[in-house]
Amino acid sequence: MVITGYVLEIAQVILALLLAPGLAGFVRWLKARLQNRRGAPPWQPYFELRKLFGKEVVMSNNASWLFRIAPYIIFASTITVTLLVPMIVAPLALDGMGDLLMVVYLLLLGTFFLALAGLDPGTAFGGMGASREMTVAAIAEPTIALAIFGLALSAGSTNLGRIVTQELANTAVTLSPGHILAFVALFIVTLAETGRLPVDNPATHLELTMIHEAMILEYSGRYLALIEWASWLKLTIFFTLLSNLFVPWGIATTFDPAALAVAVIALIVKLAVLGGIIAVVETRVAKLRLFRVPELLGASFVLALLAVTSSFVLK
């Protein structure tokens, strides 16, 4: 039984790694369709990964060893997060290893090194991206903390497994106003943290408005592959958090094969629905000016604060 738990952890990581490029490709494809374009097929990112892993790395002569280890740290920290987030089964065998705060700060570890790597080659673009990324990350932080607070308030824990099982046990919580407000707040933060419109445009390349793309401009070959894969994985993680922390139905609570199969299908459906929402949002809204982003995130902070207050009052 214990062994099964650890095997499932590894299976979950592999599942997440396999799903992540597909999810990114699906969002791109759907977006293209919504905009009356043909678009590349949803499985295009898998080919991109294969292409990048087959290419040599060209590194700037200004860059240092930090530029070379950063992709590995970003990739490793993102995978460590997937060990903590319940995707198909809750609670996970390693649930006690970290809670939601650990998840947030492990992702911040990746962002920290990505921003440093952006500064390392000494280009103006890299510095610009690093500066903006850290600004957005810092301003998004309070919303995340308050959303966690709100969830912990109803579940009595910040550990993810406990939150999911508590919610499955008590379905009334799911539709409480606090819960819905927290979901909206976290959804806005997801847009900011994963570099989607209206905060950052993932389709942009070489524009003065770019954030994520500006930081990784000097990366190529296997390093770029790792960073891109990690960022798709981050999108998958945020989607999983949004779906499994707020609408946990379908997730397995035992290691029963049938339940697990249902859980995998439920996960894929939930990711696809959220991906669809993102595609619609990205088609409908224009990119915000950088200095309007704090207003958006400020609004999400207020929503999260309301979420906590209402959960507290209704408790």
Instruction: Identify residues 79-118 at the interface with other proteins (CB under 8 A).
Output: 79-80, 83, 94-99, 101-102, 105-106, 108-109, 111-112, 115-116
277 lies in the site for other proteins, by CB under 8 A = no
First to last CA, the chain: 37
Closest approach of Cβ 202 to other proteins, in Å? 20
DSSP 206-255: S-TT-SHHHHTTT--HHHHHHHHHHHHHHHHHHHHHHHHHH--TT-BSS-
Q: Is 265 helix (H, G, I), strand (E, B) or coil?
A: helix
Is there binding between residue 181 and other proteins (CB under 8 A)? no
User: Does a cis peptide bond (omega within 30 degrees of 0) precede residue 198?
Assistant: yes
144: contact with other proteins by CB under 8 A:
yes
Residues 113-142 that bind other proteins (CB under 8 A): 115-116, 119-124, 126-128, 130-132, 134-135, 137-142
> Considering only CA atoms, which of 1, 3, 160, 195 is closest in space to residue 81?
160
Q: By CB under 8 A, is residue 272 in contact with other proteins?
A: no
Q: How many residues form the binding site for other proteins (CB under 8 A)?
A: 83
Shortest distance (Å) from residue 210 CB to other proteins: 14
* Alpha carbon distance 86, 84 (integer Å): 6
Among 11, 57, 260, 277, binds other proteins (CB under 8 A): 57
For residues 220 to 239, the per-residue mask of contacts with other proteins, x marking binding by CB under 8 A and - elsewhere, is -xx---x-------------
Q: Which is nearer to other proteins, 34 or 46 (CB)?
A: 46
Q: Which distant-in-sequence residues (6+ apart) come within 8 Å of 100 by Cβ? A: 148, 151, 152, 158, 159, 160, 163
Does residue number 11 form part of the binding site for other proteins (CB under 8 A)?
no
Q: Which stretch binds other proteins (CB under 8 A): 175-183, 197-205, 270-278, 306-314?
A: 306-314
Query: Which of these ranges, 18-26, 156-164, 190-198, 247-255, lies near other proteins under the rule CB under 8 A?
Result: 156-164
Q: Is 158 in the site for other proteins (CB under 8 A)?
A: yes
Please choose, from the candidates 306, 295, 303, the residue with its C-alpha nearest in 3D space to the C-alpha of residue 139: 295
Q: Check binding of 58 to other proteins (CB under 8 A).
A: yes
Among positions 204-223, residues that touch other proteins (CB under 8 A) are 217-218, 221-222
Dihedral pair phi/psi, residue 45, rounded to 5°: -55, -30
> Buried b vs exposed e over 170-201: b needs ≥16 C-beta within 10 Å?
eeebbebebbebbbbbbbbbbbbbbbbbbbbb
